[in-house]
Structure 1
Amino acid sequence: MNSPDQEKVLGFKRREIAPSRCQPQTPDNTYAAGFAPSFTAGRELTEIGLLQQLEQEQLINKIALQIFQASDLSYILNLAVTEIRRFLQADRVLIERYHKGESLAVAESVEPSYQSCLGKSLSSLWSGPRLKLYQQGLNEVVAQLEPVHEFSWQDLLQAQARLAIPILRNQELWGVLAVHQCSHPRNWQPDEIDLLEQLTTRLAIAIHHSELHHEIQRLNDHLESEVQARTAQLQQAYEFEATLKRITDRVRDSLDVDLILQAAIRELAIVMGVRACNASLYDLEQGTSTTCYEYTSFLSPYQGRVAKFSTTQELYSQLLRGECFQFCSLIPNPERGMVAALACPILDDQGVIGDLWVLHHKDHAFSEQDIRLVKQVANQCSIAIRQANLYAKVQEEVKTLERLNQLKDDFLSTVSHELRTPLSNIKMAIHMLRTAPNPERQQRYLQILEAECSRETELINDLLDLQRLENDSYRVSPEPILLQEWLPSIMAPFLSRAQSRQQHLQVDLPSDTPAIITDRKSLERILAELLNNACKYTSPDGSIALTVQHTAAADPKQLKLHLNNVPQPVAVTTFVIRNEADIPATEIPRMFEKFYRIPKSDPWQQGGTGLGLALIKKLVETLDGSIEAESRDGWTILTVHLPMLEADGH
């Protein structure tokens, strides 16, 4: 309760009120002008009083019916103030809402000649003592507002008399129902106060119902939004699942990796509704990523572009660790601007082989469902690539087996022919010896027998040597060889042969060439076979040249030497045999195949087994060297690079 001093400041004074018809006639101290407990009007009911009571009940019932039928609180409050002003014949009736220290007029019915205060703040009129009395549930009954103390009411609301009944909601102040008389002071009757008390109770019920309705509506809206969101999630999950199934079916039914990955990228971009999607394959040795597959309808195309890992190391370091991540670009891309990106590595059992990128507008955030789908699609891309690689390897192995089978057939056919030809000649020579008429003819047939036996022996030895070389059972014994002393004895028979055929054979061996450490027997066979071929395919008056070069520090990789784990430079001796022979460039790659003979290129018709260069290639590789052939400007050039070997064995 407020102190008498506070009530005096508010312009209130005490007076005795006659008991109503429902109260015992005992004196009671209440507030005549100020806050007072509820009381009922009149002790004796007259006929007019009964009529007024009937009208009050009708008003209360009308408002109660609207509360029951309507859920719009604003409509109920406006109806209440309108009916109350009509019934009490007041100048203004308003409902003041109190919330978080602020007072606001939320409903009003006012005489047209007075200014409306609907929607205006009334906080300045709610002093601290007045608010406390409202919160205690006490009524404010002021028959005449004193200008000295109540100037705010008169200035803002033009009120001269005020009756305000608190509206309590769960024992807390919600607001007040206020009736103002603006034209003159007014003594508020007990039955009027009682009417307003009953109406505030009904309004409190209406407020409670409205709040419940709004809470139910909010919960219903929330539930409906959750159902819609869940339905959308289920629909998206269904679409994702259908997309993944289509991609999986393509991977299962096709081995065309380009078709599979392009279709997968397109399906993924469409089902996710993103702006672009692309897949790249890595070259780990070069440290590059190449965009091989792309689908976009909004952004600049990136297909075919090569990106280095070093340019965006922070991104590729995560991808190379097998991590999937999303981010938004902070610096606009010159072509694609600001985008949100989801990057996912493509992994196989050997590690990261590529990546999958999904791009959308900069404010987009990819959900867990999006990330899960992208990972699954990346896994299917990995399976497709692995299947394609396995299929390619199988096809390559099939081709290799077919080629080996063909080589086997060719080998058997050639060997059979090469072995049978000398035997046929031997058989014919023996037959002719038996019938030879004179010793000269017999001597001729004996020479044929000797030549064919040598030819047969040479073929068998070549086959055995080639077999040992291919089985790594051919043994070499490296030793120092001073070429200035050793080479002339090798060249002598070929110089004589070239002279007899009117060929020009030159040797260029620098006098300061150091000794070479290699296998003497193998080197002799290599040079003899190469010089023999040069003489064989060179026409009369043609030139043949042997050049020897020494390099103290050569790059093993550049010369394609067959050295293991030797990154540093090594000493290399190079032998270059050049001869004038018009061999087509298309025949050069096949020169080192077994039993292959260059057609129509032997002017001397010497023939041969076709094993010479194949055997030489194997010998050179056994000595850790390399051999290469080329044909240009009417010359055929064979180059042999031999590194220094260890003198104590190979």
Structure 2
Amino acid sequence: MSIYQKLSCSTISLSIPRLMRSQSERNPEDNYRSNLESSLKESLGIENPTLQANHSDRNSSIDDSSQTSATILIVDDTPNNLQVLFSYLETAGFKVLLAENGTSALQIANSQIPDLILLDVLMPNIDGFETCSRLKAQVSTREIPVIFLTALSETVNKVRGFQVGGVDYITKPTQQEEVLARIQTHLNLQRMRHTLARQNKELQQTLDFEASVRRITDKTRDSLNENFCLQVATQELATVLNLGSCQVELYDFEQVTATIACEYNSTLPACQGETRQVGDFPELYQQLLQKYPLQLVEAIPQFNPQGIQVTRLACPIFDDRTIMGNLWGLRPPGEVFTPLEIRLMQQAASQCAIAIRQARLYADSNRQVAELAKLDKFKNDLFKIISHELKAPMSSIQLAAQTLENLLKTTKNPRKSLLFDRVFKIFNKSCQQQKQLMDDLLNICYADDRTKIIQPELFELNSWLSNLTQIYLERILDRQQELILDFSAEKINITADPIILERIIREFLENACKYTPAKGEIKIQTTIATSEISLCIINSGVEIFSEKQGLLGARINSLSNNKRIDIGLGLTLVEKLIEILNATIEVKKKNNKTTFCLKLPL
């Protein structure tokens, strides 16, 4: 897309200063003109002939009488009359064209388009009336005021002159002051008619533009779909302004890139989704990021032949919070955007900003609702886990207590009973499990306050792990499992909280022992790299986790799917403790093996 090429020319200035003269500098002719305009305003019922539709338009309008000389075409078959009028009108500042007959007058009028014609009535071949009729029959010359020069004073001739399209008549022999006064009068009338027609056109255009903005507003008001709102705006603008292309580009969060999010094309190939770096076009985006519209001319390489230039207008899309992007319009070269059209684009950009903000707020609220629903489900699942975990040891404690109570009532020496020792061990173990669960719950509650939990020490990891695994050897041997210690050859000195690290490793070993079948392997592996230490616990048998699941997520899923895997509440705490150690965890499954790999910073 051409807007992603370097700009080839500077901004087009739209404001043309209006030259004004003070009252003291006006000559008598200006005073006469002013009085005539005032009387015309009264007769036409116009309070202010310069309609307040667009302040910029008023500033850019040109007072023709003070900028250029009017062109007068004199048509007369008498050379002396031509010479006299030519000298006087040229001295008065007019540009004068001469014709000696109606045929040449028609040719000159079609090629030069004079502002006013002084036309003699009595001429050979084509008289003045016929010449005027032919002028009024052509589109290019019908609006030119024609003043007849005639020695005929009969009313019928005057009426005929008005019937064929004349605006006035001057009786020969002419008086120079009268000729000048009548010329100025009709030039002013013609100028005011053109001004009024232009202002009426602008007023109608303003109404059309306001209707376009209302249509955009009505269509986007009830929609919370950002793409739909932008599509409505670009299509409506392209239609009402007759644009070759209308696009919306949006910045990223940091305003580093600009991406075409929506477009409506009639002449250019599609380029929606293309992105460019804002920093590559500092001259362009410096002004746009300051919320100022920009009009420029650039070449379109895609056009054939290449090098064809187009006019582009960019209006920033922003609200009171931020600048979101820009609204671009394209039209053929030489067709600049008027101030009224720029204002329409700015209003449409404002509607786009409102639509974007509403759509994004709605999307954010939906995300928040989804997150709240997720948290609510997480809370419910967590309560299920807690109740499930607490129920098992409590049931064991209750059953053991009842059994001990019966033994005490029915047996003389219950302490010498083998059943008493076995039940007492169950009771004691269940109490320890219950205490561990309660400690885990308390640690989860206070895990966010790291300063109260973490107490780092320097220790050698491999020897520390060797001592820690001793407490699991008896259980591993009872289950006919094999424990493999695959430590790094070099010593690993690490600074961490040993109590927190022990809680993490014990949780992983508990699950490894629990789900590794008889004759299965449990491996503890350590490796050291440049910036981190890897501590992995690998067990064969049940594949507990999916690689994409978190620890607690896997626990909840296994519970909700009624699987027999019971990973325990401890993993909830483990996730918190891993964050406290600034570590990361990877869970992998492969070939009926589950790997918990803890990555610790070196």
TM-score (norm 2): 0.66
CA contact (8 A) 2:547 2:588 kept: no
| Distance in 1 of aligned mates of 2:312 and 2:234 | 15
| Distance in 1 of aligned mates of 2:191 and 2:335 | 24
2:435 maps to 457
Residue 276 of structure 1 and its aligned partner are, at CA, apart by 0.8
| Distance in 2 of aligned mates of 1:204 and 1:576 | 119
After superposition, what is the alpha-carbon deviation per residue over 1:29-67, rounded to whole angstroms, capped at 9, x for unaligned? xxxxxxxxxxxxxxxxxxxxxxxxxxxxxxxxxxxxxxx
Structure 1 residues 190-201: aligned runs within 5 Å: none
| Distance in 2 of aligned mates of 1:328 and 1:504 | 78
Residue 328 of structure 1 and its aligned partner are, at CA, apart by 0.5
Structure 1 residues 64-103: aligned runs within 5 Å: 74=75, 77-78=76-77, 95-97=81-83, 99=86
Match of 1:419 among 379, 390, 397: 390
2:246 maps to 277
Match of 1:510 among 468, 483, 488: 488
**Structure 1 residues 607, 296: CA separation in 2 closer, same or farther (over 3 Å shift)?**
closer
1:30 maps to none
Larger radius of gyration: 1
Match of 2:572 among 594, 601, 614: 614
2:27 maps to none
2:125 maps to none
Whether 2:573 is the aligned partner of 1:636: answer: no
Match of 2:329 among 358, 361, 368: 358
CA contact (8 A) 1:588 1:631 kept: no
Structure with a larger share of its residues in helix: 2
Match of 1:234 among 203, 208, 219: 203
Instruction: Describe the SS at the equivalent of 1:223.
Output: helix
After superposition, what is the alpha-carbon deviation per residue over 1:511-561, rounded to whole angstroms, capped at 9, x for unaligned? 323410111111111122122222323333333332222233x3xxxxxxx
Instruction: Describe the SS at the equivalent of 2:341.
Output: helix
Residue 585 of structure 1 and its aligned partner are, at CA, apart by 6.5
1:313 maps to 282
Indicate the RMSD between aligned Cα atoms, in angstroms.
Answer: 3.6
Instruction: Describe the SS at the equivalent of 1:343.
Output: strand
CA contact (8 A) 1:247 1:264 kept: yes
| Distance in 1 of aligned mates of 2:176 and 2:260 | 65
| Distance in 1 of aligned mates of 2:513 and 2:296 | 71
- Segments of 5+ residues of structure 1 without an aligned counterpart are 1-71, 82-92, 110-116, 120-200, 555-571, 645-650
Match of 2:374 among 394, 403, 407: 403
1:444 maps to 422
| Distance in 2 of aligned mates of 1:581 and 1:224 | 96
**Structure 1 residues 536, 204: CA separation in 2 closer, same or farther (over 3 Å shift)?**
farther
The residue type paired with residue 97 of structure 1 is Q
**Structure 1 residues 601, 365: CA separation in 2 closer, same or farther (over 3 Å shift)?**
closer
CA contact (8 A) 1:320 1:352 kept: yes
Instruction: Describe the SS at the equivalent of 1:488.
Output: helix
**Structure 1 residues 619, 428: CA separation in 2 closer, same or farther (over 3 Å shift)?**
same
After superposition, what is the alpha-carbon deviation per residue over 1:373-401, rounded to whole angstroms, capped at 9, x for unaligned? 22222222222222222222222222222
1:266 maps to 235
Residue 612 of structure 1 and its aligned partner are, at CA, apart by 1.9
Match of 1:224 among 189, 193, 200: 193
| Distance in 1 of aligned mates of 2:271 and 2:316 | 18
2:261 maps to 292
| Distance in 2 of aligned mates of 1:627 and 1:455 | 25
Q: Which has the higher contact order (CA 8 A, sep 6+)?
A: 2
**Structure 1 residues 482, 346: CA separation in 2 closer, same or farther (over 3 Å shift)?**
same
Instruction: Describe the SS at the equivalent of 1:476.
Output: coil
Q: Could you tell which deviates more after superposition, 493-502 or 572-581?
A: 493-502
2:318 maps to 347
CA contact (8 A) 1:327 1:340 kept: yes
Residue 606 of structure 1 and its aligned partner are, at CA, apart by 8.2
**Structure 1 residues 629, 316: CA separation in 2 closer, same or farther (over 3 Å shift)?**
farther
Match of 1:580 among 526, 536, 540: 540
| Distance in 2 of aligned mates of 1:94 and 1:493 | 133
Instruction: Describe the SS at the equivalent of 2:239.
Output: helix
| Distance in 2 of aligned mates of 1:103 and 1:215 | 14
**Structure 1 residues 315, 640: CA separation in 2 closer, same or farther (over 3 Å shift)?**
same
Instruction: Describe the SS at the equivalent of 2:172.
Output: helix
| Distance in 2 of aligned mates of 1:634 and 1:224 | 93
Residue 303 of structure 1 and its aligned partner are, at CA, apart by 0.9
**Structure 1 residues 600, 381: CA separation in 2 closer, same or farther (over 3 Å shift)?**
closer
CA contact (8 A) 1:596 1:611 kept: no
Instruction: Describe the SS at the equivalent of 2:291.
Output: coil
After superposition, what is the alpha-carbon deviation per residue over 1:264-292, rounded to whole angstroms, capped at 9, x for unaligned? 11112212221111001112558321111
| Distance in 1 of aligned mates of 2:101 and 2:427 | 139
Q: Could you tell which deviates more after superposition, 593-602 or 372-381?
A: 593-602
Instruction: Describe the SS at the equivalent of 1:592.
Output: helix
Whether 2:509 is the aligned partner of 1:531: answer: yes
Instruction: Describe the SS at the equivalent of 2:221.
Output: helix
Aligned sequence identity (%): 31
- Segments of 5+ residues of structure 2 without an aligned counterpart are 1-72, 107-169, 412-416
**Structure 1 residues 512, 211: CA separation in 2 closer, same or farther (over 3 Å shift)?**
same
| Distance in 2 of aligned mates of 1:628 and 1:250 | 50
| Distance in 1 of aligned mates of 2:475 and 2:320 | 62
1:434 maps to 405
CA contact (8 A) 1:578 1:635 kept: yes
**Structure 1 residues 108, 305: CA separation in 2 closer, same or farther (over 3 Å shift)?**
closer
After superposition, what is the alpha-carbon deviation per residue over 1:206-228, rounded to whole angstroms, capped at 9, x for unaligned? 77666555544433332222122
Whether 2:500 is the aligned partner of 1:522: answer: yes
2:226 maps to 257
CA contact (8 A) 2:547 2:589 kept: no
